[in-house]
Amino acid sequence: MNPIRKQRLYALVAILIGSLLATWLVVSALSQNMNLFYSPTDIKAAEVDEMTLIRAGGMVKQDSIIKDTGSLNVTFTVTDYNNELEIRYEGILPDLFAENAGVVVRGNLQKDGTFKAIEVLAKHDENYMPPEVAKLINEEKE
Amino acid sequence: MIPELGHIILITFLVVSFVGGFLPLASVYFNNQTLDIPIKRLTFFLFFLIFSSFLILVYSFLVDDFSVAYVAQNSNINLPFYYKFAATWGAHEGSLLLWILAMNAWLFSFMYLAKSPDKNFMKVVFSISCQVMFAFALFTLLTSNPFERILPIPPLNGSDLNPSLQDIAFTVHPPLLYFGYSGLLIPFAIAVSAMLFNTNTKEWAAYSRPWTLLSCAFLTLGIALGSWWAYYELGWGGWWFWDPVENAAFVPWLLSVALFHSLIASESRGVFGKWSILLSIFAFATSLLGTFLVRSGILTSVHAFALDPERGVFILGILGFFVIGSLLIYSLKDFTSNEVKAYELSSKEFGFLLNNLLLVILAVSILFGTIFPLIYEAITDGKQISVGAPYFEIILFPFALALGLLQGMALYLSWGVTASFNFLQRLTLESISLFSLVLLVLFILFDNLYLSSFATIFLACWIMVGTLQISKKRNLSYWNFLKKRMAVTFAHLGMGILVLGVGVVTSYSLEKELILAPGDEFNFGDQTIKFKSLEDTQGPNYFSKLANINFEDKEDIKNVITEKRTYIPSGQLTTEAGIITEPFQDLYISMGDNLEADIWSFKVQIKPFIRWIWLGALLIAIGSMLSGIKRIQRS
Choose, out of B300, B396, B401, the residue to mutate when testing the contact with A (most A CBs < 10 Å): B300
Four-residue CA torsion sign, B224, B228, B230, B233: negative
Cα B108 from Cα B168, distance rounded (Å): 28
In this predicted structure, what is the pLDDT of residue B382?
A: 74
Q: Do B385 and A32 touch (CB under 8 A)?
A: no
Query: Domain residues for B577?
Result: 510-612
Residue of B178, B183, B359 whose CA lies nearest to B284: B183
Cα angle B90, B93, B94; round to 5: 50
Q: From the list B304, B372, B515, which residue is nearest A30 (CB)?
A: B372
Surface of A (82-121) touching B: CB under 8 A: 91-93, 95-96, 104, 106, 121
- Cβ atoms of B274 and B333 closer than 8 Å: no
Mutate to test the interface with A, among B385, B417, B512, B598 (most CBs of A within 10 A): B385
Kindly state the percentage of chain B with pLDDT values over 70.
95
Q: β-pairing, B578-581 with B585-596?
A: antiparallel
| pLDDT surpassing 90 at residue B324 | yes
B406 touches B400 (CB < 8 A): no
- For residue B137, tell me if it sits in a domain: yes
Pairwise CB contact (< 8 Å): A104 & B300? yes
User: How confident is the model over B503-523, as a mean pLDDT?
Assistant: 92
Find out whether B197 and B121 touch, Cβ atoms under 8 Å. Answer: yes
> Confidence band (pLDDT; 50, 70, 90) for B309?
low
Q: What is the per-residue pLDDT across B174-211, written as a single tens digit (0 to 9) for each?
A: 899 999 999 999 999 999 999 999 888 999 999 999 99
Half-sphere exposure of B514 (CA within 13 A, CB side): 19
Q: What are phi and psi of B608, to 5 degrees?
A: -70, 140
Q: Is the pLDDT of residue B481 over 90?
A: no
Distance from CA of B131 to the nearest CA of A (A): 33
pLDDT of residue B480: 79
Among B134, B166, B198, which residue terminates a domain?
B166
ipTM of the complex in this document: 0.87
Q: State whether B340 and A4 contact (CB < 8 Å).
A: yes
* Residue B596 confidence (pLDDT): 82
Average pLDDT over residues B518-530: 91
For residues B436 and B449, the answer to whether their CB atoms sit within 8 Å is no
**DSSP states of B555-611 as a string?**
S-EEEEEEEEEEETTT--EEEE-EEEE-SSEEEEEEEEEEEETTEEEEEEEEEETHH
Is a pLDDT exceeding 70 seen at residue B295? no
> Which residues in chain A are closer than 8 Å to B345, comparing Cβ atoms?
10
Domain count, chain B: 2
Dihedral sign from CA coordinates of A102, A108, A109, A112: negative
Q: Read off the pLDDT of residues B443-474 as tens digits, 9 standing for 90 and up.
A: 999 988 999 999 999 999 999 999 987 665 56
Strands A54-60 and A34-38: parallel
For residues B377-402, average pLDDT: 88
Looking only at Cα atoms, what is the longest distance across chain A? 78
Res B290: pLDDT: 80
Indicate if the alpha-carbon torsion angle B180, B403, B319, B315 is positive or negative. negative
Give the residue on B whose Cα is nearest the Cα of A130: B300
| Within-domain flag for B129 | yes
Question: Alpha-carbon distance B514 to B76, whole Å?
Answer: 36
From B63-72, B305-314, B360-369, B591-600, the region with the lowest mean pLDDT = B305-314
In a domain, B519, yes or no: yes
* Interface touch B235/A95, C-beta < 8 Å: yes
b (16+ CB within 10 A) / e for B429-441: ebbeebbeebbee
- Shortest distance between the Cα of A127 and any Cα of chain B, in A, equals 6
B489 occurs within a structural domain: no
Q: Where does the pLDDT of residue B293 fall: very low under 50, low under 70, confident under 90, or very high at 90 and above?
A: confident
- What predicted TM-score, i.e. pTM, was given to this entire model? 0.93
Of B39-43, B170-174, B353-357, B514-518, the range with the lowest mean pLDDT is B170-174
Mean pLDDT of the region B550-573: 89
Distance from the Cα of A136 to chain B's closest Cα (Å) equals: 11
Rounded distance between C-alpha atoms, residue B245 and residue B235, angstroms: 18
- DSSP state, B337? P
- Which residues of chain A are modeled with pLDDT < 70? 1, 123-142
- End of a domain among B166, B197, B228? B166
Going by pLDDT thresholds of 50, 70 and 90, the confidence category of residue B304 is: very low
B600-to-A69, A92, B279, B522 alpha-carbon distances in Å: 10, 10, 52, 13
Interval B510-535 mean pLDDT: 91
pLDDT at B597 over 70: yes
The confidence band for B589, taking pLDDT boundaries of 50, 70 and 90, is very high
- For residue B302, pLDDT over 50 is answered with no
Position B234 scores a pLDDT of 76
The pLDDT value recorded for residue B573 is 86
- Chain A: residue whose CA lies nearest to B368: A26
**Chain A nearest-CA residue for B74:** A127
For B361, which of A19, A33, A127 is closest by C-beta distance? Answer: A19
Mean pLDDT of B59-63: 95
Chain A closest CA to B104's CA: distance in Å?
Answer: 31
Confidence of residue B308 (pLDDT cuts 50, 70, 90): low
Of A7, A25, A71, the CB nearest to B398: A25
- B251 vs A5 pLDDT, higher one: B251
Average pLDDT over chain B reads 90
Q: Inter-chain contact A22–B361, Cβ cutoff 8 Å?
A: yes
Taking an 8 Å cut-off on Cβ atoms, the answer to whether B394 and A33 are in contact is yes
Cross-chain Cβ contact B342/A4 below 8 Å:
yes
> How far from the centroid of its chain's Cα atoms is residue A26's Cα?
19
Which of left, alpha, beta for A38 (phi over 0: left; psi -120 to 50: alpha)? Answer: beta
B218-246: average pLDDT = 88
- At residue B504, the pLDDT reads 96
Overall average pLDDT of the B17-32 stretch: 91
Q: Which of B25-29, B616-620, B631-635 has the lowest mean pLDDT?
A: B631-635
Average pLDDT rounded to a whole number, residues B33-42: 86
Closest CA to B199 of B30, B327, B32, B336: B336
User: Residue B254, class by beta-carbon neighbours within 10 Å (0-12 exposed, 13-18 middle, 19+ buried)?
Assistant: buried
